[in-house]
Copies of this chain bind each other. A is one copy, B any other.
Amino acid sequence: MSVNTYDGRVQDLLQTMLLIRAYEERAAALQAESGVPGTCTSVGQEASAVGVVAALGADDLILTNHRSAGHLLARGADPGRLLAEVMGRRAGYCKGKSGSLHISAKELGVILTSTIVGGELALATGVGLSQKMLKRPGVVVCFFGDGAACEGRFHESLNLAAVWQLPILYVCENNQWQAFVHRRETMLGDSIASWATPYGIDSATVDGNDVEQVRALATEALDSIRASGRPFLLETRTYRLRGHFEPDDQAYVDPDELAAWRARDPLPRLQARLLESGQLDARALSAMESDAQRRIDAAVAFAIDSPYPAIDELVTDVYA
């Protein structure tokens, strides 16, 4: 079983965040330089992904959206197989059929990456129902964006999960953007967490760029779900530091907003805190960084070496 679980060490969180950042930036560079298919990177959102996933147990299950590389890597995905999938290679998690946008990895308990915005919300209730009816211990974590919260499925999913008391942790990664539309153009308020209240679902909001806070709140939320059997909504306030999909020059983004959030980039923030508190020294950090880069170098080499699927794979796996 290659699922990552985390003990208390904050250094492990940093290590994972560094890996994700290195992966995402390399994926973007490969797109720009070598015409590798573009991806929706999670640069800037690493703390949200790692903080939540680090709170999970091995039995918990994940559904996520198009911006899923961070969730997958935090859960223990092999960056080589991930990149192979992005490149449509046979060694990818889905034999190259998915590409970056629909990656699932059964061995990691990642049931779904939905690129239909809202698809993760629609299926999460079913996975929750399986957990409940088959008396399996794991909680279902459903990552979705502030954009997905505008889809009707948000309403339908949360209401059903509340009525049927399904063990689901909804995690809204509110990164202020919905592709080329700012969140403010799509809702009057600023809180998506509060949208849970009418359904009778408890919720909380957390600084999504602070991995320790995210992990603390996610742990609390998971505990409450395990104890009560009821769903919970956690909103992580964060920001999409690169564009929506590579390439994207973000010409439409207010530079002041972007600058303000760059100043809150979760990686330097965590690094500075750990360096200051003495939990990390410069040498260890640089070793971690090189380690991440090495793993990504190896991943790229693996993915590029991996063959494309044979043409007859075009029509396999359609029916069981």
Q: Which of A145-153, A277-285, A309-317 contacts B (4 or more CB under 8 A)?
A: A145-153
* Residue A143, interface by CB 8 Å: no
- Closest Cβ of chain B: how far from A175's Cβ, in Å? 19
Most buried by B among A154, A185, A187, A191: A187
Residue of B nearest to A185 (CB): B163
* Residue A156, interface by CB 8 Å: yes
* Chain B residues within 8 Å of A200, by CB: 188-189
Residue of B nearest to A165 (CB): B188
Partner of A155, one of B154, B162, B194: B154
- Closest Cβ of chain B: how far from A191's Cβ, in Å? 8
| CB contact under 8 A between A163 and B151, given known A195-B198, A198-B194 | no
Distance in angstroms between the alpha carbons of A194 and B150 in the assembled complex: 18
Copies of this chain, count: 2
* Chain B residues within 8 Å of A188, by CB: 162-163, 199-200
Distance in angstroms between the alpha carbons of A154 and B151 in the assembled complex: 10
* Chain B residues within 8 Å of A194, by CB: 198
Interface residues of A in 137-184 (CB under 8 A from B): 150-156, 159, 162-163
Distance in angstroms between the alpha carbons of A156 and B152 in the assembled complex: 6
- Size category of the binding interface on chain A: 20 to 34
Distance in angstroms between the alpha carbons of A143 and B186 in the assembled complex: 24
Secondary structure type dominating chain A contacts? helix
* Residue A197, interface by CB 8 Å: yes
Contact, CB under 8 Å: B185 / A189: no
Distance in angstroms between the alpha carbons of A153 and B200 in the assembled complex: 20
Residue of B nearest to A188 (CB): B200
Distance in angstroms between the alpha carbons of A159 and B152 in the assembled complex: 10
Interface residues of A in 178-219 (CB under 8 A from B): 185-189, 191, 194-195, 197-200
* Chain B residues within 8 Å of A189, by CB: 198-200
Contact, CB under 8 Å: A156 / B163: no
Partner of A156, one of B150, B185, B197: B150
Partner of A187, one of B153, B154, B159: B159
* Chain B residues within 8 Å of A198, by CB: 189, 191, 194-195, 197-198
- Closest Cβ of chain B: how far from A107's Cβ, in Å? 33
Residue of B nearest to A122 (CB): B152
Most buried by B among A159, A162, A197, A199: A159
Distance in angstroms between the alpha carbons of A187 and B195 in the assembled complex: 15
**Complex A-B, nearest 4 residue pairs according to Cβ-Cβ distance, in ascending order:** A152-B152, A155-B155, A188-B200, A195-B198
Give A contacts to B, CB under 8 Å. Answer: 150-156, 159, 162-163, 185-189, 191, 194-195, 197-200
Chosen A-B contacts, 25 in total, with CB atoms closer than 8 Å, are A150-B156, A151-B156, A152-B152, A152-B153, A152-B154, A152-B155, A154-B155, A155-B155, A159-B186, A159-B187, A162-B187, A162-B188, A163-B186, A163-B187, A163-B188, A187-B199, A188-B199, A189-B198, A189-B200, A191-B198, A194-B198, A195-B198, A197-B197, A197-B198, A198-B198
